[in-house]
Amino acid sequence: MQYPLEMRFTLFSLSQQITVRDAAGSSILFVKQKMFRLKEKIEVFSDSSQSKKLFEINADRVIDFSANYHFTGADGTDWGAVRRRGMRSLWSAHYEVIENNQIDMVIQEEDPWKKVIESLLGEIPIVGFLFLYLLNPSYLIKMADGSNAFRIVKKPSVFERYFVIEKLTELDEDDELRALLSLIMMVVLEKNRG
């Protein structure tokens, strides 16, 4: 994959659809969220034709306060999971990426004060819209040893959500895919921010 990657989805569509493109503009993933389900279910395809399914992401419970979202390959292989940390995510977004029942990576918000300001001012008409447009969150994925692997930054946009993913270190392909699946799930859960 050629970095930086762009992740885009429109705000006004019935089912959540995300397109991931590489630096050359080529579509590398197409993500579709299943509608009207009690538990989250997301399908990841190789492109927007949806002819080749690569992964599924399934929640383990209805309420997503501290849910685990399991990654399954098209052939049924287990690719790990991402877990939202309930109480810790109230202050700032915090997710754990799990492989073989061990925490492999952690996703954390770079500046938790943005979430606090957004929570306080986001509900005020007009002023709230302006703050949501200007305060764009950014997140870091850290490896188990504490080194930074990826940064994802939300860019200002009105009619869509637009994120840029930067790779900060070399990883093996499995870790890279697991991190990308985790970022997709995090964006789906945090989509109403900024």
CA 100 to chain CA centroid, nearest Å: 21
Instruction: Kindly indicate the confidence band of residue 194, based on its pLDDT and cuts at 50, 70 and 90.
Output: very low
CA dist., res. 92 & res. 137, Å (int)? 10
Highest mean pLDDT among 23-27, 62-66, 111-115, 135-139: 23-27
Helix axes 127-134, 112-121, angle to 10 degrees: 160
Residue 112: name the closest of 184, 190, 5, 185 by CA.
190
Q: Which long-range contacts (C-beta less than 8 Å, at least 24 apart) are formed by 89-96?
A: 91/115, 91/116, 93/137, 93/139, 93/186, 93/190, 95/182, 95/185, 95/186
Domains of the chain: 5-189 (2.40.160)
What's the pLDDT score for residue 105? 96
192: pLDDT strictly greater than 60 = no
pLDDT digits (tens, 9 = 90+) for 75-99: 999 999 999 876 555 566 789 999 9
pLDDT digits (tens, 9 = 90+) for 144-157: 999 999 999 988 87
Encoded amino acid at 77, one letter: T
* Mean pLDDT taken over the chain: 85
